[in-house]
């Protein structure tokens, strides 16, 4: 466990937006599954965090059983949301896009 602030691990970078893993609290070094952040310098619980199921277009049928499948789906979904302007750097998740799913 870290006892000093550590920058969160990067989940993906796409079109100038960096998405970070989210952690349970300041002392945890294990990412919370399905939660991400658009800001790497905010404490857990900030407005920049989002659950992937809140990303417009999320389809639970596409969220595979294994971590690799889930991770790939999350990347595709988040990249599509970035392209649609719903996810921006250092900003909370926005509302509905003009598309229904990826």
pLDDT tens track for 35-66: 999 998 877 778 899 999 999 999 999 887 88
Domains held by the chain: number:
1
Q: The domain containing residue 22 runs over which residues?
A: 10-83
DSSP state of 45: T
In a domain, 68, yes or no: yes
DSSP state of 8: P
In a domain, 95, yes or no: no
pLDDT score of 24: 72
How far is it, in rounded angstroms, from Cα 22 to Cα 13?
Answer: 15
∠ CA 6-75-25, rounded to 5°: 30
In a domain, 90, yes or no: no
For residue 26, name the pLDDT band (cuts at 50, 70, 90).
Answer: low
In a domain, 100, yes or no: no
Smallest CA-to-CA distance from 74 within 62, 83, 86 is with: 62
Task: Return mean pLDDT, the chain.
Answer: 83
In a domain, 94, yes or no: no
For residue 76, name the pLDDT band (cuts at 50, 70, 90).
Answer: very high
In a domain, 77, yes or no: yes
Q: Where are the beta strands (DSSP E) in 1-101?
A: 10-14, 17-23, 31-37, 49-51
More confident residue, 54 or 7: 54
Task: Report the predicted TM-score, pTM, of the whole model to 2 decimal places.
Answer: 0.81
In a domain, 47, yes or no: yes
For range 21-34, the mean pLDDT: 73
pLDDT score of 1: 45
In a domain, 4, yes or no: no
Residues recorded for the chain: 102
């Amino acid at each position: 466990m870290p006892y000093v602030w550590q920058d969160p691990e990067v989940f993906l970078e796409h079109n100038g937006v960096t998405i970070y893993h989210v952690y349970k609290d300041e002392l945890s070094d294990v990412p919370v599954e399905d939660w991400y952040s658009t800001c790497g310098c905010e404490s857990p619980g900030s407005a920049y965090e989002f659950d992937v199921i809140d990303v417009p277009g999320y389809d639970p049928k596409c969220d595979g059983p294994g971590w690799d499948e889930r991770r790939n789906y999350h990347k595709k979904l988040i990249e599509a949301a970035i392209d649609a302007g719903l996810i921006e750097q250092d900003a909370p998740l926005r509302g509905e896009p003009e598309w229904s799913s990826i």
